[in-house]
Chains A and B, each alone.
Chain A
């Protein structure tokens, strides 16, 4: 009795150990591909993306990636999250080097299908993030006096989405705080000019 049970467990663990070893690389690759795709979706045109970096804001850690073009950082893809209606909404938020939102992409969510889940499909809602400038517009839904158009009947989801974007903007400021003040106009523009001449 004990022998049969032990033998079964041993055999099963061996099979699973083998399967884990075989699938580990493809799984990591699938996850990396997914991250790479969301980064490409949310930041301006780039040549290469940095390794995952970690920024700390209010004792919380946020993962981010730096997009580089011609040796200059052109944008940041920041992973941030906020509690929505059905759980955390995890976003990849892309900002250019001036701190304007380029685009956003949902990494994971558990909102209600047909309502909050539209944050991944509602074109008007998704399009408003392209070029959203947090220094001019207010990052909260119109109901709360902000500039974000909420998804119909999904205010809580929209609020969480705006909150996550806001967090990403804060993270961006903390990563880039000193650098932006010193170099926004000075170092990025000459690069563009040289490019035009070529």
Chain B
């Protein structure tokens, strides 16, 4: 396996940000009320992660150590704001659902975490691969969590309703998010991580 593919797979499984590293819990718990919401949040984070990883790995050699955190945050915030403007302009419906959580990607520790731990020490291509891997891992985790909560809580999947009436409402609300996340984490770590 080539090293780039290895990097992507690592981000997806071994370093899965949600189920293994337990990073970015706030958007994970808050936006996964349905599979579509989870997927959109995951893709939004993926976008920022890949671009900020690439930009940071490119500028890292010239950034003095003392100011590297402020510089990284400015770079990340720029991409997040860019994403926010683009979503507002071209996908207003998605923007409305995710609303508050888009600006909060700035403080998502996955993004700064990858910038610090990976992008600042590796080349642009490798950092992009790492961003894609971790971003996809995050997207997968959020989509699965969203789907499970949607199935249990609303009796539907990706908006397609298969029962009439309500599901178990608790799963749409915060307690259900914690319960689902806990069980998914157990399953993920038992069956996938050891590979």
Q: A-side interface residues toward B, CB under 8 Å?
A: 1, 4-5, 8-9, 12, 15-16, 19-20, 23, 26-27, 30-31, 34, 108, 112-115
Contacts and interface: CB of A to CB of B under 8 A. Distances in A.
B33 A34 contact: no
A1 B62 CA distance: 9
B89 A114 contact: no
A12 B74 contact: yes
Contacts of A4: 62-64, 67, 71
A115 B92 contact: no
Most chain B beta-carbon neighbours within 10 Å: one of A4, A9, A34? A4
Interface stretch (B11-19, B112-120, B165-173): B165-173
Contact of B86 (A1, A5, A23, A115): A23
B66 interface: yes
Nearest to A5: B67
Contacts, number: 61
A150 B66 CA distance: 59
Interface string B133-177: 000000000000000000001100000000000100100110000
B29 to A, nearest CB: 13
B7 to A, nearest CB: 26
A27 B89 contact: yes
B88 A16 contact: no
A30 B70 CA distance: 34
Interface of B: 33, 59, 62-64, 66-67, 70-71, 74-75, 77-78, 81-82, 85-86, 88-90, 92, 96, 153-154, 166, 169, 172-173
A48 B1 CA distance: 63
Contacts of B173: 112-114
Nearest to B167: A114
Nearest to B91: A30
Contact of A114 (B64, B90, B96, B153): B153
B92 A34 contact: yes
Contact of A8 (B74, B82, B96): B74
12 contacts: A4-B63, A4-B64, A5-B71, A12-B75, A15-B82, A16-B85, A23-B86, A23-B89, A26-B90, A30-B89, A112-B173, A113-B169
Nearest to A115: B169
B64 A1 contact: yes
A112 B153 CA distance: 13
A30 B87 CA distance: 11
B174 to A, nearest CB: 10
Nearest to B171: A114
